Amino acid sequence: MAVCPSCGLPTPHNGPCPSSHSLSTGLPVLQGRYEVVHLLGQGGMGTVFMARDLRLQGRDCVVKKLRDDFYREEDRQKAQAFFEREAGVLSRLQHPNIVHILDYFRENDDYYLVMEHVKGHDLHYILQDRGEPFDEDQQVIPWAIQICDVLNYLHSENVIYRDLKPSNIMIDLKGQVKLVDFGIARAWEDAGENTHVVSAGYSPPEQYWGAATPQSDIYALGATMHYLLTGKDPEALHASSPKASNEAVSNYTDQLVQRATAQDMSQRFQTVEEMREALLEKDYVPAPETPRSRVGEIVVGVVLFVVACLLYLGPQVLEPLLPKSIKQSLPPQILSGERDYPEGPPSQGLLKPPPPKPVQKDPLTQRNVSNADLTVQVMDEKELTDPSGASETGETQNKLFGGITLPWSRPIDGNK
């Protein structure tokens, strides 16, 4: 029996293809093509459904629908911008460890994103289901290396992922990593971006004020490794040490995670490739050292020995034995026996300590100032401001940072 290539119904049928429901199953059909099967999950900005592509012999796919229950219009517009950005980012990325986008459309004032169906589960679900941490060498390190590969690809495309965490990392039936949910990924050079979107424990300090960099993804990978090695979410805004919760973690991996999650970006791995090399270090066998010529070292040693003899045994003894080339290279004071000790004879001048530095005085108090009096000046800001400069109340700050009290923040009213 012939079927309609658009909706899968027997042809011919009267009128346009039904786009709201399949006549055979009663399930919703989007664009006359994607038949919704069942709900997969609910996220912060969208609902995810399992579906079938009726044009491609019922091939499985995933349909993500933008939420429509936002309280404020401002939130709705921001979520819509994220949704459209996700479609735009995914449309230009081609990597085996990134979920593929199949379609993007708007229907009945709702926005939809169609992606490939990854047969597997995310790492958060898998760990919760097994009830214990993953093996360091057999699972965590190989997965981390795969994630480094895909992050390196993203950064080469000037894309910062910004949302790396166990629930966004799928493991397919072949054990391969698949990154999903690119809703807050953005272009690296987008200097005007100041979106405060974080995942507590997995987002670095700089991401709390919208200043994400490639090192921010490195931080999130280190935090993810902490979770996989311990089964516990990392503490927000702290360097992670998985060995503190799981003694089976090796010292090497523990130090690697601590470096990746350093609060200061300059102390982290500076590139994903650098972290990848560190992950491979356990299996790295250094090449044998190439033998080097020691002739130069011997010549330098002989010259230094001769100079020392001239200084301490006297030039008159060794001068007749020196070649003419060496005599010409030595200062005339050495050959003449003259010695210049501006600080006095050797028994005093060579061991004489340097004169003390003058004591500085405070211009206001006339007190002597020493190094012990110096302190580090710390900026004491009572308010956090958004990029436009408008002050935020303490309540707004709590919403902005997901209810997290930052260690450097203070109440607006100035109470200590």
> What pTM value is reported for the model?
0.62
Maximum pairwise Cα distance, the chain: 120
**Gap between the Cα atoms of 290 and 72, Å rounded:** 68
Q: Do the Cβ atoms of 148 and 97 come closer than 8 Å?
A: no
Query: Which pLDDT score is estimated for 405?
Result: 40
User: Do the Cβ atoms of 233 and 225 come closer than 8 Å?
Assistant: no
Query: What pLDDT sits at residue 35?
Result: 95
The CATH class of 29-116 is alpha beta
Residue 115's SS3 state is strand
Supply the DSSP symbol for 370: -
DSSP readout, 234-300?
PPTTS---GGGT-TTS-HHHHHHHHHHT-SSGGGS-SSHHHHHHHHTGGG--PPPPPP---HHHHHH
Name the CATH topology of 120-283: Transferase(Phosphotransferase); domain 1 (1.10.510)
Tokens of 396: 């707004």
What is residue 61's three-state secondary structure? strand
- Give the catalytic positions in this structure: 163
**What is the distance, to the nearest Å, from the Cα of residue 237 to the centroid of all Cα atoms in its chain?**
14
The pLDDT, as a whole number, for residue 126 is 97
Q: Which is nearest to 126 in space by CA: 172, 181, 64? A: 172
Sign of CA dihedral 387, 392, 395, 396: negative
| CATH 3.30.200.20 domain residues, the chain | 29-116
* Phi/psi of residue 389, nearest 5 degrees: 100, 0
Q: Write out the residue limits of the CATH 1.10.510.10 domain(s) in the chain.
A: 120-283
> What distance in Å separates the CA atoms of residue 310 and residue 13, rounded to the nearest whole number?
111
Specify the DSSP class assigned to residue 331.
-
Dihedral over Cα of 328, 330, 333, 336: its sign: negative
107, β-bridge pairs: 110
User: In one letter, which amino acid is 18?
Assistant: P
pLDDT digits (tens), the chain, 416 positions: 454 544 444 445 444 444 444 444 457 899 999 999 999 988 777 899 999 999 999 999 999 999 888 888 888 888 888 888 889 888 999 999 999 999 999 998 899 999 999 999 999 999 999 999 999 999 999 999 999 999 999 999 999 999 999 999 999 999 999 999 887 777 655 544 555 678 999 999 999 988 899 999 999 999 999 999 999 999 999 999 999 999 999 999 999 999 999 999 999 999 999 999 999 986 443 433 434 445 555 655 666 676 666 666 655 555 666 666 556 655 565 555 554 444 444 444 434 445 555 555 544 445 444 443 333 333 333 333 333 433 333 443 343 334 444 443 444 444 44
| Sequence-separated contacts (24+) of 117-121 with Cβ below 8 Å | 117/50, 117/60, 117/61, 117/62, 118/62, 118/170, 118/172, 118/178, 118/180, 119/172, 119/173, 120/170, 120/171, 120/172, 120/173, 120/178, 121/170, 121/171
